[in-house]
């Protein structure tokens, strides 16, 4: 009897404990994908926008938020003009979970096809997270014939696949960069480091996935052609959780710069903390979301100072004084969601993609896929991420580092202290957005 009473007591304690945790967590529940227009002023049947993506990743989660924000704005103004009526956008979502290292591409494809068959979207935005999934999904999109405006997956293999049968794959568009673009931006930053500070040895580690292979490949080629000494060039599995071998190699090889390309939050977070813990005396540069996100100082610590990151395209998480549209978008985002996007990439593309789609529908005057594709090909849109026009041969948005009035653009920034001693992200490249210059850490002088 005593045992039973004790057992009941324990169960009660456990249930109460878990209830307290659950209630406390409700205060910060994740954003639910159900946008409601600010004003229900729109008429007509909704135009369905599908968002099949990996909501586990900040890119998918914040991309969806950006889409919802854009949809809310468009619907608040009455919706999209189609013939004589105005029609609202309606967002339908499926979590493909393709950003999770253990998810097979086949499972992600099944989730995507379920969305297509059940929700019958007129178009898809954001789309696949993992590049491998994007390539696999191209046939699916071609089979069901609806426009897909991808804004996350970065592999240049997309263009290669597209060119194999442009007529078949014509429904696919990429509204964001491919990973060779941030690779090019990073290479330019390395040029500055070499020219201004005489740095010359580099260790590169990257996630062993398509987009990061392409990204790191561009950086490696640039380094080889410009006299950098390569201390190491290592691929890590996407599920890796220990980077001490690479960091040790960089340290023993006296690398002055460590370049990293990674997008899985877990691994990138562990790397960031490990880099700080192991006190590697090398300047960190690359795409490591936990060290580049607005909340990096809280997550990693003040050691983020001097680390350099590329944000692609502009407006993903860093407001740029010289590009007011980035400020405007991020202010709206923060007003609605109480915080800036976490990921320093692609959110602005997700936002722009909805407006690009809306204008294409209005130009086409139809939701018929082939007409919509023809209208999308004529896109010339000045958005948050720069001027978006599609390459006719590959349906990818054109990006460069020259002029945001001509193409889409990205930005390189460095964590520096402001006059009050607060760590802030200072844009350092290209010149048309720069608000400061790259600084060398005192321990490297």
Query: Which parts of this chain interact with other proteins (CB under 8 A)?
Result: 3, 7, 10-11, 13-14, 17, 20-21, 24-25, 27-30, 56, 58, 61, 100-102, 205, 208, 234-237, 239-246, 248-249, 251-252, 265-266, 269-270, 273-274, 277-280, 289-290, 293, 295-296, 298-299, 301, 342
Nearer to other proteins, 127 or 265 (CB): 265
How far apart are the two ends of the chain, measured CA to CA in Å? 73
The minimum distance between CB 15 and other proteins, in angstroms, equals 9
Give the Cα separation of 331 and 338 in Å (integer). 10
Tokens of 26: 């409700």
Nearer to other proteins, 110 or 277 (CB): 277
**Closest distance of CB 205 from other proteins, Å:** 7
What is the pairing mode between strands 380-383 and 386-389?
A: antiparallel
Least Å from the CB of residue 259 to other proteins: 15
Q: Closest separation between CB of residue 27 and other proteins, Å?
A: 6
Closer residue to other proteins, CB minimum distance, 10 or 110: 10
Nearest distance, CB of residue 365 and other proteins, angstroms:
41
Q: How far is the CB of 291 from other proteins (least distance, A)?
A: 9
| Nearest residue (CB) to other proteins, 4 versus 419 | 4
Nearer to other proteins, 16 or 41 (CB): 16
By C-beta, is 293 or 433 nearer to other proteins? 293
What's the token pair of residue 300?
A: 């990693």
Q: Shortest gap between Cβ of 103 and other proteins (angstroms)?
A: 10
Nearest to other proteins of 208, 377 (CB atom): 208
**Shortest Cβ 187–other proteins spacing (Å):** 23
Q: Which is nearer to other proteins, 87 or 97 (CB)?
A: 97
């Amino acid at each position: 009897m005593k045992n039973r009473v004790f057992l009941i007591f324990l169960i009660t304690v456990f249930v109460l404990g878990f209830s307290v945790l659950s209630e406390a967590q409700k205060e910060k529940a994740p954003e639910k994908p159900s946008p409601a227009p600010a004003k229900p002023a729109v008429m007509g049947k909704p135009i369905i926008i599908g968002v099949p993506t990996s909501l586990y990743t900040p890119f998918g989660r914040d991309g969806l938020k950006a889409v919802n924000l854009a949809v809310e704005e468009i619907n608040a103004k009455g919706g999209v003009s189609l013939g004589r009526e105005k029609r609202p956008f309606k967002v339908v979502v499926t979590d493909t979970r393709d950003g999770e290292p253990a998810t097979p591409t086949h499972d992600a494809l099944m989730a995507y096809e379920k969305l297509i068959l059940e929700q019958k979207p007129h178009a898809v935005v954001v789309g696949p997270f993992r590049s491998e999934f994007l390539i696999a999904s191209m046939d699916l999109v071609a089979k069901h014939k609806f426009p897909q405006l991808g804004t996350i997956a970065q592999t240049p293999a997309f263009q290669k696949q597209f060119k194999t049968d442009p007529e078949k794959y014509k429904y696919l568009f990429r509204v964001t960069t491919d990973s060779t673009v941030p690779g090019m931006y990073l290479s330019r930053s390395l040029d500055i480091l070499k020219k201004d500070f005489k740095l010359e040895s580099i260790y590169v580690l990257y996630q062993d996935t398509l987009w990061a292979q392409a990204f790191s490949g561009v950086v490696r080629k640039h380094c080889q052609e410009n006299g950098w000494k390569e201390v190491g060039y290592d691929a890590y599995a996407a599920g890796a959780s220990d980077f001490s071998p690479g960091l040790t190699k960089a340290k023993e090889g006296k690398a002055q710069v460590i370049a990293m390309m990674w997008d899985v939050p877990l691994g990138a977070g562990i790397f960031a903390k490990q880099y700080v813990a192991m006190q590697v005396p090398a300047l960190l540069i690359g795409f490591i979301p936990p060290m580049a996100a607005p909340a990096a100082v809280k997550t990693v610590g003040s050691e983020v100072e001097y680390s350099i990151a590329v944000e692609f395209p502009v407006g993903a998480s860093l407001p740029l004084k010289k590009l007011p549209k980035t400020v405007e978008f991020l202010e709206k985002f923060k007003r609605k969601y109480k915080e800036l996007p976490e990921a320093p990439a692609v959110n602005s593309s997700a936002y722009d993609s909805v407006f690009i789609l809306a204008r294409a529908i209005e130009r086409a005057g139809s939701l018929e896929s082939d007409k919509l594709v023809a209208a999308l090909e004529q896109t010339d849109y000045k958005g948050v991420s720069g001027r978006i026009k599609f390459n006719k041969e590959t349906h990818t948005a054109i990006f460069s580092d020259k002029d945001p009035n001509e193409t889409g653009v990205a930005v390189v920034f460095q964590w520096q202290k402001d006059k009050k001693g607060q760590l802030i992200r200072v844009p350092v490249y290209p010149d048309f957005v720069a608000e400061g210059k790259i600084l060398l850490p005192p321990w490297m002088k």
